[in-house]
Amino acid sequence: MKITMAHGSGGKSSAELMKTVFGTYFHNEILEKMEDAAVLDISGRIAFSTDSFVVTPVVFRGGDIGKLAVCGTVNDLLMMGARPLYLTSAYILEEGLESDLLETCVASMADTAAKAGVKIVAGDTKVVEGSGGLMINTTGIGLIPEGRDISAANLREGDAVLVSGCLGDHHACVLSHRMGLENDIQSDCAPLNDIVDALFENGVRVRAMRDITRGGLGTMLNELANTSRRGIEIEEERLPVRDEVRGFCGILGLDPLYMGNEGKMLAVVDGADAEKALAAMKGTEHGKDAVILGTVTAGGGVVMKTRLGGRRVVDMLYGEGLPRIC
Amino acid sequence: MNTETVVEYLKHYDGPEVKLMEVCGTHTSAIFKSGIRSLISPKIRLISGPGCPVCVTPTAYIDRCIEAAKTEGHTVYAFGDMMKVPGSAGSLSVAKGEGARVELMMSPLDAVAAAEKDPGRVFDIAAVGFETTVPTYAVALAAAEKKRLTNVRFITALKQTFPAVSWICENEEGIDAFICPGHVSVITGSDAFLSFAERYRRPFVVAGFEGEHILAAIYEIVRQLEKGEAKAKNLYPSAVRPGGNPKAKAMIETYFEPGEAVWRGLGAIPASGFYLKEAYRRFDGGSFGLDSDMELPKACRCGDVIVGRVSPGECPMFGKACTPTDPYGPCMVSAEGSCGIWYRNTF
């Protein structure tokens, strides 16, 4: 079956779609009340974030837009030290979308939400003219436990900078699909609850966290350094990049430092806790390849010690990071 | 000799100041990425030459591509780094936002495949590049010919490295030696540089693209200069053969012929471009006479930067009116342009 404008009319077809697709996968006592708004009983410091997801293709090796839409928002909440609790999910469907494809994405969204420990408590669906595409917006709420103070402004000289795993997997995977390049690169799309929980459970003094999405590690490091008015020094030799991704980047003239990920994070922790943080990360499913990448310095900007022992500035990404000619 | 010894030597070099030009944009990028400038004596200056095909493209060429993309029934296929190069009124990227049909290509064959699927539309390939890339256009043309397609066009701004290096040797006093382009040499062969070393009495050293390769080339050059030698040397023999790649050269010769080309900053250089031969002109998308390059602001020193007369930081527009997000000269646009690389390294 293909989605038509009738599915967005609010009439019988809409109700049918709600029941057969969304109703099959999204269940919880708040959603099932079917009120105009979800009523949530929470108190304390709240983290609140929203993100819209557009990706071509909508299903890729290692994930799909449904999984991505949960991970993106959940990870943003986690990076503030919050425990993600609730999500909204708003779908914009283009006419001509295969309902099977929609169902695949909805099922994977429900599955990912369960893994990330969040409830989808409100939603909306619209149908627009188009060519069978699918876009999702999710908004999330998380509760920040007492005593956690996570901010990009917290960096101090001597802090350690850790990254949770290999860079560029998601970006390289999606680009490969788009270009019709055959390889085995998988998206890293994942909720990062396990890593964040492990850091706090082990008593690591966490200063700042960022999920390394668009703009890549280079951009995130600069954001942290600039906000904290500190410098960051990293070592090229420690940068975790899979061989396939390195090869892919080499051919296209892309730099893994500026490639997006959907299941990798950067953590800045008290220098004395560096090894403890590393062990905590490595003990989790999504942090197995974690490394200590560098340290926070007194100066400004981000500098990388190269493999040859030279030094280079690591700047933010400018523009789109397009593949180059030679 | 191991890299530590080479670095040790180059770090402590205290002879007369020497200026080495790398003629390949990929070398420029590798020098930056490996932090090579931080490893060698400030008396060894590395100058980025006209080795980025995008950077030497005149504005009239960009304008022609935009004109094609805005023509009803046409789609332009371009490599990523062409998208942001400013013409006299915006870039391909801006034109795309205004509704022009522009597609990013990974290979010119993408355009041929699209042309086959959609015979009612004309596909113009923005064919920019040096000897390294020209064979890929030849392959695309051969494919279009074989499929009897009549809706593929090439808007060419193809360049030959050697005439430009000659031009620099004859017109610029200050360059003491050349780090020769590894990729180009794979096609042309390292022998091509032998006569250059003799004629211009300067070292010409072909290098690979790892930091170690470039350091080895710098070392070779500095040692030659210290001994008063001027030899051509191939330090990238794993990829570069003396005679180059005959098959690729034959492909180029089948479809293209040399002609005068305009290099941004250098001006017109005889026989420095490649154009479609008469027999294949039906595939040309309007590549001739694209020589005007007058639209850049007077203060822009792109041309001087390309030949190493000034470093990017000496251009009055650098980092102020001209930045990677809002570039004037193509040296700032391309990932391999000297200004873009310099900006990222210093700001």
Query: Domain map of chain B by residue range?
Result: 3-51+162-234, 59-161+244-283
Question: Which residues are A120's β-sheet partners?
Answer: A87
Asked whether the predicted pLDDT for residue A172 surpasses 70, the reply is: yes
**Mean pLDDT for chain A overall:** 93
Average pLDDT of the segment spanning B47-59: 82
B-chain residues near A323 (CB < 8 A): 79-81, 104, 106
Phi-psi region of A292 (alpha: psi -120 to 50; beta: other; left: phi over 0): beta
CATH class, B59-161+244-283 region: alpha beta
Whether B255 has its CB under 8 Å from any CB of chain A: the answer is no
B54 Cα to chain A: minimum distance (Å) = 8
pLDDT at B347: 54
Is the Cβ–Cβ distance between B157 and B96 less than 8 Å?
no
Give the closest of B81, B325, B344 to A313, CB-based: B344
**High-pLDDT (> 90) share of chain A, %:** 79
For chain B, the straight-line distance linking the first and the last C-alpha, in angstroms and rounded, comes to: 35
Whether A306 has its CB under 8 Å from any CB of chain B: the answer is yes
A107: tokens are: 């099922």
Asked whether the predicted pLDDT for residue B108 surpasses 50, the reply is: yes
Q: Using the beta-carbon criterion (under 8 Å), do A319 and B324 form an inter-chain contact?
A: yes
Residue that wins the pLDDT comparison between A321 and A164: A164
Is the Cβ–Cβ distance between A191 and A77 less than 8 Å?
no
B165 Cα to chain A: minimum distance (Å) = 19
Asked whether the predicted pLDDT for residue A233 surpasses 60, the reply is: yes
Is the Cβ–Cβ distance between B56 and B313 less than 8 Å?
no
pLDDT at A212: 96
Asked whether the predicted pLDDT for residue B294 surpasses 60, the reply is: no
B-chain residues near A219 (CB < 8 A): none
Distance CA A91, CA A128 (A): 11
Model confidence pLDDT, tens digit, residues A58-116: 999 999 999 999 999 999 999 999 999 999 999 999 999 999 999 999 999 999 999 99
Amino acid letter, residue A41 = D
pLDDT at B10: 96
pLDDT at B289: 82
CA dihedral sign, ordered B270, B276, B281, B284:
negative
Q: Using the beta-carbon criterion (under 8 Å), do B325 and A318 form an inter-chain contact?
A: yes
Whether B163 has its CB under 8 Å from any CB of chain A: the answer is no
pLDDT at A317: 80
Is the Cβ–Cβ distance between B272 and B264 less than 8 Å?
no
Q: DSSP letters of B219-266?
A: HHHHHHHHTT---EEES-TTT--TT--HHHHHHHHHHEEEEEEEETTT
Asked whether the predicted pLDDT for residue B231 surpasses 50, the reply is: yes
Asked whether the predicted pLDDT for residue A326 surpasses 50, the reply is: no
Q: Do domains B3-51+162-234 and B59-161+244-283 have the same CATH topology?
A: yes
Distance CA B74, CA B31 (A): 39
Question: Does an H or E element contain B267, and which?
Answer: strand B267-276
pLDDT at B346: 65
Q: What is the largest CA-CA distance in chain A?
A: 67
How far, in Å, are A127, A138, A172 from residue A135 at the CA level? 10, 10, 21
Q: Using the beta-carbon criterion (under 8 Å), do A318 and B130 form an inter-chain contact?
A: no
A-chain residues near B106 (CB < 8 A): 179, 252, 323
pLDDT at B245: 92
Average pLDDT of the segment spanning B15-34: 89
Question: Which residues are B127's β-sheet partners?
Answer: B156
Which chain A residue shows the shortest CA-CA distance from B130? Answer: A326
pLDDT at A219: 95
How far, in Å, are A107, A289, B87, B102, B108 from residue B73 at the CA level? 42, 50, 22, 12, 19
A-chain residues near B323 (CB < 8 A): 318
Q: Is the ipTM of this complex over 0.85?
A: no
Average pLDDT of the segment spanning A117-121: 96
Distance CA B34, CA A308 (A): 7
Mutual orientation of helices A193-201 and A65-78 as an angle, nearest 10°? 20
A159: tokens are: 């802090």
Average pLDDT of the segment spanning B16-39: 90
CATH topology for the B3-51+162-234 domain:
Rossmann fold (3.40.50)
Amino acid letter, residue B275 = Y
Asked whether the predicted pLDDT for residue A36 surpasses 70, the reply is: yes
Asked whether the predicted pLDDT for residue A142 surpasses 90, the reply is: yes
pLDDT at B310: 84
Distance CA B122, CA B72 (A): 9
> How many C-beta atoms surround the C-beta of residue B319 within 10 A?
17
Whether B166 has its CB under 8 Å from any CB of chain A: the answer is no
Helices assigned H by DSSP within chain B: 3-11, 25-33, 59-70, 92-97, 108-117, 134-146, 161-171, 182-188, 194-200, 211-226, 246-255, 302-306, 330-333, 338-346
Is the Cβ–Cβ distance between A50 and A138 less than 8 Å?
yes
CA dihedral sign, ordered A201, A204, A209, A212:
negative
Distance CA A199, CA A274 (A): 11
The reply to whether omega before A57 is within 30° of 0 (cis) is yes
Model confidence pLDDT, tens digit, residues B68-78: 999 999 999 99
B32: tokens are: 């930056």
Asked whether the predicted pLDDT for residue A15 surpasses 90, the reply is: no
Distance CA A164, CA A107 (A): 27
Distance CA A61, CA A64 (A): 8
pLDDT at A319: 62
Kindly indicate the confidence band of residue B293, based on its pLDDT and cuts at 50, 70 and 90. Answer: low
Question: Which residues are B44's β-sheet partners?
Answer: B18
Distance CA A148, CA A80 (A): 9
Average pLDDT of the segment spanning A153-173: 96
Kindly indicate the confidence band of residue A152, based on its pLDDT and cuts at 50, 70 and 90. Answer: very high
State pTM to two decimals: 0.84
Model confidence pLDDT, tens digit, residues B238-270: 889 999 999 999 999 999 999 999 887 778 899
pLDDT at A320: 59
Looking up tokens 């305009």 gives B262
Kindly indicate the confidence band of residue B172, based on its pLDDT and cuts at 50, 70 and 90. Answer: confident
Q: Using the beta-carbon criterion (under 8 Å), do B82 and A325 form an inter-chain contact?
A: yes
Helices assigned H by DSSP within chain A: 12-17, 23-25, 29-32, 65-78, 99-116, 169-179, 193-201, 216-228, 243-252, 274-282
